[in-house]
Every structure is written in C-alpha cells, then in structure tokens.
Structure 1
C-alpha cells in the first residue's frame, strides 16, 4: 500500500504551488487555534475581575496588559473576534485550495488512465471484465479524490495544530506538557494493528465492488438470454454472494477504523484526568494558566483523532492505487523500438511471412504466410478457430507474432512506429460499432477534418447516402447507443462509409456480413461491390459466396494456409475449398 501511496503523491508534484497556498492557510489556522487556547486563561481572569485585571499576571497578552479598564472592556473582545475572523478566512482558504489541488491531481490521473485504456490492445482489454475496468475508473479514482481532498489536508493542518498546541502546553507547564505528549506514542502500536486490519478489509471490499460492477455489466448486456432461460434467480444468487462478501469486508474494515478514534478518546480522557489531578494536588498553576493548559490538552487530541479518522481515506486510496497501477503498468504487446520511423506509403504490398502465434498454450498460427499485393482483394476462408481473425490482429499491430514477421514493401514492420502502420488499415468488423452521437459524428471519427462533400461522397460509395437522407435529421440524426436506432445493414454500411472516408490504403473486412440477415447482407454486398474494385483489401468471410470474385482466396486451417488460388481454380482442384463450398451449398439447399 505504501508504494501505491507514494506513487499517487507523484501526481501532486505539478500542483505544488496550490498545495503551498493551502499550507499557508493551514499554518495560519494552526496559529489561531493555539491563540484560542492561550487566550482562555486571560478570558477567565477578564470575566472574574470585570476587566480590572484581565491582562495582568504571569499569563498576559503583552500589548493589552497595561490598558486601562475602559479600553480593556472592548480590547479583549476585539482580539477574540479578530482571531476568529482570521481563523475563518484561513479555514475557507485551505478548503478551497485543497479542493482545487484534489481536482487537478485527479484530473491528471483520470487522463492517464484513459490514455492507458485506449492504448491497450483489444486482446488485453478482453482479458479484463469491463465492469471491473469501469469500477477502477469511477470508484477507485473517487477514493483517490477523497484522499487528496481530505487526507493530505488533514495531515498537514492537524499536524500543524498539534505542534502549535503542544507548544502552548509546554510553555505553560513543561512537566504536564511533556507527560501529555508521552501519552500519544502509547496509541501507536494498537493503532497500527487496527490500520492493517482496516486495510485488508478495504482492499477486499474494493475487489468485491469490482466483481459487482462486472456482473452488473454482464447482466445488462445479456438480459435477453437471462430472461429467456428464466435465469434471474441464479443471477440474483451470484449478485448476492458478491454483495455479502463486499458487506462483510467493509464491516470488518469499519470496526477496525472505528477503533482508532475510540482509542484516542480514552487516552485523551486519561491525560485530561491526570492533568487535573496533578494540578489539584500540587497547586503548581494559577487557575487562568491551568484553564489555558487544559484547553490546549483538549484541543490537541481533536486533531490527533482527526488524523486517525482520515487515515481510513488514505487506506482506501492505497488499496485503490494498487488496482489503478496494476492497470497503468500494463504495456501494449507491440511497442515501438528505439529509432522507429514513420511507415512510408505502401507501393507493393504486405506479407505475413512464416508467422507463428499463441494464446497462452493454445497455438493459433503455425508458420503461416499470406501475401496482400497492392490493388488486389485477398480473401481468407476456412473453419472457425482456424486463425483468420488472429491474422487481422497481427496486421493491425494489436499483437506481435512470436515467430516470423510482418513486411511492408519487403521491410520489417518493427522498423516503423506501430501507429503509422495501423494507419494503413481501415477495419470493418463483424459487429458494426457506432457511437451514440449523430451520423456525421460517427463518420467523422475516421477524419475529423473531412468536409460535408467528402462525408456524402463516402456515404454514396458505401450505398448509404439515400437512407441517411431519409432519416429525420439526415446526417445530424443521432443513432442511439451502439447505433440502436438503425438496422443491422444500415449500421454496417455506415461503418463501410467510415472506412472509405479514412482514405486508408488497405481495407480489412473481418466477417463484415456474417451476422446480418439476408436482406441486410444484400444491402452490404451491394455497398462492397462499389467499394472493393481496384482497392487493396483483405476479406475474412464465413460465407464463401461473398468472396467468389476475390483475386486470391486463402484457405486457413489449424493456423496454416492449406491452399490458395482463385475461386474457379480451387473448385477444380477438389481440395479443402471445394469441400467447404459443397458443404455450404448443401446447407443452403437444405435450408431452402
């Protein structure tokens, strides 16, 4: 936990000036608190004497000591009010500056988290539960925000107040002040044990909160399936199990956290009782000095208790920091090599040469070679699980091959920056991904600077302009979350239009029509018929009828290219492709 707290403090360095301003306000606040304690004795003397000798004696306010009675009657209240005003302004200042400090610090953390999340590969994100990622971005970051707002400020402010009040107590009675300070270390050992118990409970509670968020996200996404199988009871049991674990962990942490201020309360009462007994027995202090001393003793234990109370925020931030840094420390599997340069324009083509790749212990590709010449459409077909989609992951530099290499015009892609290689591709996947904005905003994702004419031209090429024009607000129509207001074919044609607008030299279609109904598939196929001629494209397809016009068809089985050629050539050979063709043709005749 301590490592994560130190790393979190690193986000505070750029905002040291704001923290410094808060510290000045806290110093003034601490001095004013000490002044209150010191003035309690003169206040008692002022009351008992009717202002006649309110500022004389051993404990006095120097510049008021010699004032006549008439002046002292208003002078002392002015001092008290002035201290109160200064303390109030200082408190407001430290609260404002600590709030500003917390927001600036957490904004930096959120920004870095977002950058890290968007820089990870799809495979890395797939290994994480989406709900747990969202929990880290919300609940864990909020824990850091609360700690930055209250814990840092409390540690600075309360530590200053303890020093000032201890100084007041020592100046009034070195013996009693020393005894009072000796009591504080007695709480260190039990408080440390309670803190460790609270940390364990807090860490477990935040882990279970991530599980709860993950299950909620999965449940909402799969509600049709859950209700279709009447699985609500089973889902509730799973949810209840995680909820119980979260509740038990947080209750344990609450018991441990509550023990620290309780312990300090007992010690404060013991110290106060001891000071009273000693003062009564020895008569070593006059009543005014004793009152100021007891006020300092009472006040000094309040910031001590506050420190124990806000330690829980530090513990929560430490546990949250561990989870956040586990995410921030992830690195993309394809990082730029030192000296990597921008990938030049593609002139001849791409080659995956002798490529091997594994998902854990499962071998996905084995010595695979695929060529994609400029200006040609190459199709990858074959049974599910053969490695076709893995090829796109390697081409787009989402993953690095364990053997072999990716060549751009004969040059190893490792010599180029991964982002510049990725810019050569426009990807259209099986599930059309749209965002909840307008049609225009979704298309502009490919090129934010595209003009209206360029947007419409890309939509016409993708056979999408007519249906867009028919929408209530045309290109400004909002499509809903994940394009829910559009049909499957319309969503996919928008994705194709976006790919066309990007002007990327290579178009990758990864099962772009496999999840569509026949009507939508015809619409998308018509769009592709206008897009593909003359383009460099890699088409991954399940339905062989969609790739009969490809320049070359590669049949991928068990991570290898087992045969390749044009449609007619492969049928004439009577090999794996011909067998797949006959199988699909028979299935289609049976369905008809």
Structure 2
C-alpha cells in the first residue's frame, strides 16, 4: 500500500512543525526538569523487577530438586519465597505506577503551560496569516493525542527498558546458551520494526496535518457563515471540506495498514523466542549442557521478556503519534521573527510610513507606495470605500503586519524590528472583534493592567459609558462573564474592550470600527467621552461613520490601496474630490 499523495492545504501559512532535533532538545529539557521523578520511578520498578526475577529462579531450583528428590519442607520453603517475591513485586509495581502517573501529569502540565505561554506571545501577524484553525488544533487535538504518551508512554517506556536489561542479565546468569536462544527472533523484530518506523513518523505527522486542515476549513466556514451564505459558496465549501476529510482519512487508513503489518510480525518474534528456548533448551538439557532447573528458569525468563519488549514496541508506536503532535506543539516555540532586535527602541512618538507596499499573497499587493506621517497627539482619520485597504494600513501602522516594501516607524525605529511586547505597550489596535474571557469582569479588565485597583477599574468603565450597566450586574466587578457566566451583549463587550484600552494607556491608538456595534447616537456619545480620556494621545481612526473624520485633525482618503487625498475636513470638502462626494452622500443618508 502506497502512502497518500501529499497535498498543499491552500494558501494559508501554517504554523511551523519542529524538526526532530528540536523535539529531542525539548524532550531533554522536560527530562531535566523532572529528573528526580524519573529516577524514583526507575528505582521503584527496578526493585519490582528484581523481585519478579526471584520467582523463576525459585521455580527452577524447585524443579531441579524435585528431579533429584526433595522434602516437603523444601517445597513449602520454595513456595514461601515465591509468594514473598510476588508480594514485594506487586507492591513496588503499584508504587511505581502511582509515581509514574504523577510524573506524567506534571510533565503534561509543563507542556501545556509552555504551549500556552508561547501561543499568547506569538506575533499577531503570524496568527493573522496562519488562521485560528491550526493553532486551535494544536491546543486541543494534539494535546489530547499527546496526553496518553506523556501520562503513560514515557514512564512505562523507561520502566520497560530497565526490565529488559534486568531480565537479560538474569538469563545470562542462568545460562548464556539460553540467553542467546531467547533473542533468536531479534533479527526479524529489528527488520520489521525498521520498516515500520521508517514510514510511521511522517505518516502520523501527515495525519495530524490533515486533521488540522479539516479543522481549519470547518472553522473558516463557521466563522464566515453569513458570507458563505450570501455569496452562495455553500457547495464549494462542502466540496472543500469533503476533500480535506478524504485526505485525512486516507492517511488514517495508511497508518492503520502499517500497524496491521507490523503487529503480527512482532507477535511472531515472541512465539519464536519461547519456541526456540523450549526446543533448543531441551536439546541442551539432553546433552547435559544445562540442568532441568536452568531450562525451567530460562523458559520463564524468555517468556518474561515478552511483556517489557511488547511495552517498548507498543509505547514506542504510541510515541510516534505523540512525537508528531509534540513536533507541532514545539513548532510554535520556533516561530521567531529574524528581523526582531531587542535593542531597537523608539526615540519618540511619531508614526511614519514611507513608500509602503503590502500584500497578503506574493505578487498581489493591496497597498501601493503609501507614505504617511502622524504627528504625536494628532488625530488622523482613514476613510474610503470598502476594500480600499484602510484596515490593512491600520494594521501596518499598529505593527501587526510588516510591510513588504518600504518601512513603518515609531519614533524613527522600524516597527518590523521591534519586539511585539514593546510595540503593544505603546501602540494598541482596537477593532470590532472583541473577546470576553471566562472569569470575573475584574479579571477581564486587569488583563490590560494587572495591578489596577477597583477605583481605577471603575474609572475606566465610566470613561467608556459602561458604569451604569456594570453597577446593575448581580455581583458588580465580581460577576462571572464569558462562557457559562453572564452573557454580555455585543455593545457591552465592545465597551469592555475599550475600557481595557483606557487601562493599558498606550500613547498611540489605532481604532478600526471600535464603536461599530453601538447605535449611531450611543457611538457618538461614547466617542465624545473617549475624546476626553484620549486627550494628548495619537489616534488613527479608520472611519466608517464620517462624523469621526469630521472631528479629526487630518484625513487620508484611501482608494485602491493608495492615498488619493490628504488634508483637513474643510480643505477636502472645498476641494470637491472623493472625500467631498463621500461627505455629501453620508449627510444625505443621515
């Protein structure tokens, strides 16, 4: 059976997948963090394995004595030792599994925290290009797939390796001839495992990528459901979804076929080892090379090898699935901007764009040669028809995107080379897409300023006209909001986002439809309230309601990715150009 054809999943830029070297480095990091836990699990299991090895030795000695003639007291003594060894083994196995489960949970918690910390620190432009489906798939499906590997596979694999070493050691001490016989199936095991593991890792990665592609298509279709319905794209989206599901299922079938070939061959090697030990061991015994007691113990030890070797192979196979998921999780850690320089700092507050060109796809620019200077403390409005490039330009000025050509600077420092955290502390973008996090209203507000007290929180809410409805909530600032809590209306969620903006206190704001969810009269009142709060700050407003442009110091008219007019409201109205036509049309509609 051939592997499915690898297909490109559309123009979206998927987040990177870590290289095997990066995955190994991260695994070593986790192992160092939890070396004490690993040492405890291995020591406990080693004790349990040594106790388990006593059983075959006791039985072998008993058989040897029975063949030569023995007493009832010797038999009772042997049974006592066997039961004691079994009791000790059971106790230490239970203890080692408990510690192994605790170790796995701690490692999984570490991994989840590492992924979450790195995810929230991703550059916004990277997330914009990659979409949410890939990241969500990594944070849900890949974490779930990896959970079994981390909780069980890693500790049990370490335990099984120790068991194999100890059992082989016991076989060598019992009889070197039987030790050689017990590993007679090793060449077959190595050959079939090499065949399997050369194909499995990439296949599991492709399977995970296929599932992520399905998740991405579904998320995009649901998020843009109204657009899909309005443009009658339903059949195309269903066809694309079916194709992605088909590609994913093809990889599922291929990995299943790999397992159906490999697993029977592994079982055959186990049977071969026991059969060879019985057959050849019997021949050795008849020739007097080994005793009947050695043969008995050797067969039991050969059979005891089956369980840890099976664990190694089974969990190693599980780790192939886990490794593919871990590579996707660790890949998020590798998202770096090679242009970022920690030493780059702004020397002022002026925002400037010089001959900027930008496109979402190579060779297809949506902005062309834009130059714009925004003085500190000024208010600039970007106006123009839908699709002209206003929001794209706003994201460039906010440092979300890096220009394809030209430069965007803050205080003379290129935004593209500045760390994202430094940009966000000085320049903030607020649009109509707001998120209410699960938790209290106080927690939601403190995302912007963790140390803010209740007086500051209420002042920020009052600044955005949210004081009244917050005071009417059942528990005020302690009211649980978000999924499962009090549901905020879209206008309330928008006011919450603006209150966060007041608390964050950046000196430059890019507002893209920041009041679009409010009715015109409420939006006008809120903008007047905000104007007092934002006094002295630089404001770049993407204006869809032209009263925003009317209040601005300067207006830039964006048409077909270029600035066609630039000036104050009176100047542009007097010029009789595109802005004057927009103004007359908006006033007539109003």
Q: Deviations over 1:127-158 (max 9, x none)?
A: 33433322222332344443344444344333
Instruction: State the Cα distance separating 1:583 from its structure 2 match.
Output: 4.1
Corresponding residue of 2:112: 110
Instruction: State the Cα distance separating 1:307 from its structure 2 match.
Output: 2.1
Distance 1:5 1:432, change over 3 A: closer
Instruction: State the Cα distance separating 1:39 from its structure 2 match.
Output: 1.5
Distance 1:412 1:310, change over 3 A: closer
Q: 1:190 aligns with which of 192, 215, 222?
A: 192
Instruction: State the Cα distance separating 1:385 from its structure 2 match.
Output: 3.4
Corresponding residue of 1:19: 38
Structure 2: distance between partners of 1:134 and 1:409: 36
Corresponding residue of 2:6: none
Structure 2: distance between partners of 1:91 and 1:80: 16
Distance 1:278 1:539, change over 3 A: same
Within a 5 Å distance, the mapping from 1:160-559 to structure 2 comes to 160-218=162-220, 221=223, 234=238, 241=246, 244-245=249-250, 247-275=252-280, 277-279=282-284, 281-282=286-287, 284-332=289-337, 335-337=340-342, 339-341=343-345, 343=346, 346=348, 349-359=350-360, 360-410=362-412, 417-481=419-483, 485-514=487-516, 516-518=518-520, 521-522=523-524, 524-559=526-561
Q: 1:128 aligns with which of 119, 127, 130?
A: 130
Which stretches of structure 1, 4 residues or longer, exceed 6 Å deviation after superposition?
46-50, 223-230
Q: Which runs of 5+ in 1 are unaligned?
A: 55-68
Structure 1: distance between partners of 2:228 and 2:389: 31
**Greater mean deviation of Cα atoms: 280-289 or 475-484:** 475-484
Q: 1:32 aligns with which of 51, 70, 75?
A: 51
Asked which structure has the greater CA Rg, the reply is 1
Corresponding residue of 2:580: 578
Q: Deviations over 1:452-479 (max 9, x none)?
A: 2212222222122122223333333334
Structure 2: distance between partners of 1:186 and 1:413: 59
Corresponding residue of 2:7: none
Structure 1: distance between partners of 2:146 and 2:526: 48
For normalisation by structure 1, the TM-score amounts to 0.84
SS class of match (1:304): helix
Q: 1:41 aligns with which of 60, 63, 69?
A: 60
Distance 1:395 1:223, change over 3 A: closer
Structure 2: distance between partners of 1:118 and 1:195: 34
Instruction: State the Cα distance separating 1:567 from its structure 2 match.
Output: 0.8
Q: Deviations over 1:11-45 (max 9, x none)?
A: 32222222122222232233223222211112335
Instruction: State the Cα distance separating 1:309 from its structure 2 match.
Output: 1.9
Corresponding residue of 2:159: 157
In 2, are the aligned partners of 1:365 and 1:558 still within 8 Å (CA)?
A: yes
In 2, are the aligned partners of 1:197 and 1:256 still within 8 Å (CA)?
A: no
Structure 2: distance between partners of 1:411 and 1:226: 41
Distance 1:8 1:475, change over 3 A: closer
Distance 1:224 1:282, change over 3 A: farther
SS class of match (2:312): helix
Distance 1:530 1:253, change over 3 A: farther
SS class of match (2:509): strand
Q: 1:7 aligns with which of 9, 13, 25?
A: 25
Instruction: State the Cα distance separating 1:574 from its structure 2 match.
Output: 1.3
Corresponding residue of 1:58: none
**Greater mean deviation of Cα atoms: 18-27 or 481-490:** 481-490
Structure 2: distance between partners of 1:224 and 1:484: 26
In 2, are the aligned partners of 1:151 and 1:310 still within 8 Å (CA)?
A: yes
Corresponding residue of 1:63: none
Instruction: State the Cα distance separating 1:432 from its structure 2 match.
Output: 3.0
**Greater mean deviation of Cα atoms: 432-441 or 286-295:** 432-441
SS class of match (1:97): helix
In 1, are the aligned partners of 2:131 and 2:216 still within 8 Å (CA)?
A: yes
Structure 2: distance between partners of 1:558 and 1:483: 44
Instruction: State the Cα distance separating 1:310 from its structure 2 match.
Output: 1.8
Structure 2: distance between partners of 1:240 and 1:452: 50
**Greater mean deviation of Cα atoms: 561-570 or 127-136:** 127-136
Distance 1:483 1:219, change over 3 A: farther
Instruction: State the Cα distance separating 1:429 from its structure 2 match.
Output: 0.7
Q: Deviations over 1:94-119 (max 9, x none)?
A: 32333333333333332222222212
In 1, are the aligned partners of 2:541 and 2:548 still within 8 Å (CA)?
A: no
In 2, are the aligned partners of 1:272 and 1:298 still within 8 Å (CA)?
A: no
Instruction: State the Cα distance separating 1:363 from its structure 2 match.
Output: 2.0
Q: Which runs of 5+ in 2 are unaligned?
A: 1-18
**Greater mean deviation of Cα atoms: 115-124 or 198-207:** 198-207
CA RMSD of aligned residues (A): 3.5
Q: Deviations over 1:269-297 (max 9, x none)?
A: 43244235524653544332321122122
Corresponding residue of 2:97: 95
In 2, are the aligned partners of 1:463 and 1:526 still within 8 Å (CA)?
A: no
**Greater mean deviation of Cα atoms: 563-572 or 304-313:** 304-313
Structure 2: distance between partners of 1:566 and 1:29: 83
